[in-house]
């Protein structure tokens, strides 16, 4: 399993069978502060890359969660709806947002690896 990153601070964990899991990065949750609400997409809905797929709200601000690749939502993290603070306490595991069935797998090649993402964050 490898993880890729977007310039919009989403992480994408590549799973088996053309499925990826998407969440917000540690940097994103640090910038947002305490997450109090998440609006997750509808299962079965298809999105294009860079389309807004959800919203995360914190005590400081609201931010869009962008679709990192073209695909269809196969699952959402209901636990995150019940406890939005998971996006802060465990953003890379229990705080995942949704799973996507890829419709254009080569788009993953355009995402950043961990080193490139770390450079982006360091220079922002």
**pLDDT tens for each residue of 24-62:** 999 999 999 999 999 999 999 999 999 999 999 999 999
Average pLDDT of span 90-113: 96
Is 123 part of any domain? no
Which positions ≥6 away from 90 have C-beta within 8 Å? none
What pTM was computed for the model? Answer: 0.95
d(CA 39, CA 81): 8
User: How distant is the alpha carbon of residue 75 from its chain centre?
Assistant: 13
| Owning domain of residue 14 | 3-104+112-118
For 84, residues 6+ apart whose C-beta sits below 8 A from its C-beta are 35, 36, 37, 38, 56, 57
Mean pLDDT of 73-79: 97
Evaluate whether residue 70 is within a structural domain: yes
Is the predicted pLDDT of residue 1 greater than 70, yes or no?
Answer: no
Q: Work out how many domains the chain is built from and give that number.
A: 1
The reply to whether 124 falls in a domain is no
Asked whether residue 63 is domain-assigned, the answer is yes
CATH number at residue 42: 2.40.50.100
Q: Cβ contacts of residue 93 below 8 Å, gap of 6+?
A: none
């Amino acid at each position: 399993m490898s993880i890729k990153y977007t310039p919009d601070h989403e992480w994408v964990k590549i799973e088996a069978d053309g499925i990826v899991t998407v969440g917000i990065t540690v940097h994103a949750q640090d910038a947002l502060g305490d997450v109090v609400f998440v609006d997750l997409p509808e299962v079965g809905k298809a999105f294009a890359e860079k389309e807004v797929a959800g919203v995360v709200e914190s005590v400081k601000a609201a931010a869009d969660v962008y679709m990192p690749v073209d695909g269809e939502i196969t699952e959402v993290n209901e636990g995150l709806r019940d406890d939005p603070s998971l996006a802060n306490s465990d953003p890379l595991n229990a705080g995942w947002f949704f799973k996507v069935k890829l419709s254009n797998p080569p788009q993953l090649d355009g995402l950043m690896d961990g080193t490139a993402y770390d450079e982006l964050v360091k220079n922002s």
